[in-house]
Amino acid sequence: MLPSLPELTGSARVVSLPLRQPFRGITSREALLFEGPQGWTEFSPFVEYDDTEAASWLEGAIDFGWLAAPAVFRSRIRVNATLPAVEPGAVAGVLDAFPGCRTVKVKVAQLGQVLADDVARVAAARDYVGVEGRIRIDANGGWNVDEAEHAVHALAGFDLEYVEQPCASVEELADIRQRVKYMGIPVAADESVRKASDPLEVARAGAADLLVIKAQPLGGIRASLDIVAATKLPVVVSSALDTSVGISMGAYLAAGIPELDYDCGLGTAALLAGDVTSSPLIPVDGSIEVRRVEVDAALLDRYAAPVDRTEWWLERLERCHALLAGRT
């Protein structure tokens, strides 16, 4: 059942958490938290997303707050470090916040930068992790097919684990996957799964070798597990600059997948300069715990969003709740 709007707003708190460095153009992360029968949960679609897309994030938040998590196969999740589009000289400082992580996901194709910037950043990341470390790159759909092919050739010498969402559309992903297949570099799909009206299309089209999935935007842990089962592709469970509450949701999703061959993108709380709990889910020896997070009232107060932003989020919550009510 869909909880009533008062059940959601009764405990709702909106926070604005500062980032250690800019990430994809933002310097703080806003999120709305509320408490359900199972504990605290998070509603945090990015502010530019429309209500239709954001409603799926609310569905995921309700799933985690109102339903017990499915059975788990592990109590800790190995995670990757996430490297924003920083200058090479800043790479070590960022990666120091991810102790024990053997894998680095490097953001590339940043607006306003060029391929040479990506090469220098990936080179610095490879120097940091050494020859035994793993490097994956994420373009967030920022290249066309020709640009992606050129970039993969330029970066292949750094022994890439895979390239994530090099192009925006499913058709482009299928094309670039065929172009680089002989190089042995897998293609991963992220936005083509979580932002698609049909998250299974990318698998049916043979456009990816693995999927990057996020619990909240896909409508929750159960919906995400259904996608994993239907596609039969390897997956990486990731996050979207969540608070530790949202990271907890992702950790339970990752723990519920029988075979988890890749390190997961659930270490991003290390990119935050503040959190909502005194026991954040940050990497320790390259992994995070699978556990629910208790929020700290003092931290909710410290990072409380301004009144106008709180009102904006509560109005968004109301609109998305109405959309979910219409679906049911």
Half-sphere exposure of 289 (CA within 13 A, CB side): 8
Contacts for 4 with CB less than 8 Å, ≥ 6 apart: none
Give the integer Cα–Cα distance in Å for 29 and 40.
Answer: 18
* Residue keyed to tokens 């999703």: 253
Q: Determine the angle formed by the axes of helices 221-231 and 51-66, rounding to 10 degrees.
A: 100
181 is catalytic: no
53 is known to lie in a ligand binding site: no
Q: Where are the alpha helices (DSSP H) in the chain?
A: 5-9, 51-66, 91-95, 115-129, 145-155, 170-180, 191-194, 201-204, 221-231, 244-255, 297-302, 307-327
CA 322 vs. chain centroid, Å, equals 26
Catalytic residue among 105, 107, 181, 232: 107
232 is catalytic: no
Give the integer Cα–Cα distance in Å for 132 and 322.
Answer: 50
10 Å Cβ neighbour count for 187?
25
* Residue keyed to tokens 């391929």: 115
What residues form DSSP beta bridges with 135? 104, 160
Give the integer Cα–Cα distance in Å for 189 and 207.
Answer: 8
DSSP string, 84-112: -S--GGGHHHHHTTSTT--EEEEE-S-TT
CA 80 vs. chain centroid, Å, equals 11
Catalytic residue among 105, 181, 195, 214: 214
275 is known to lie in a ligand binding site: no
Give the integer Cα–Cα distance in Å for 242 and 58.
Answer: 14
190 is known to lie in a ligand binding site: yes
Q: CA-CA-CA-CA torsion for 201, 79, 167, 195, nearest 10 degrees?
A: 50
Q: Quote the tokens at residue 187.
A: 């293609």
Instruction: List strands edge to edge, sheet with 39-43.
Output: 13-23, 26-36, 39-43
Q: Residue ranges for the binding site? A: 138, 164, 190
Q: Residue ranges for the binding site for Mg(2+)? A: 138, 164, 190
Residues with a catalytic annotation lie at 107, 214
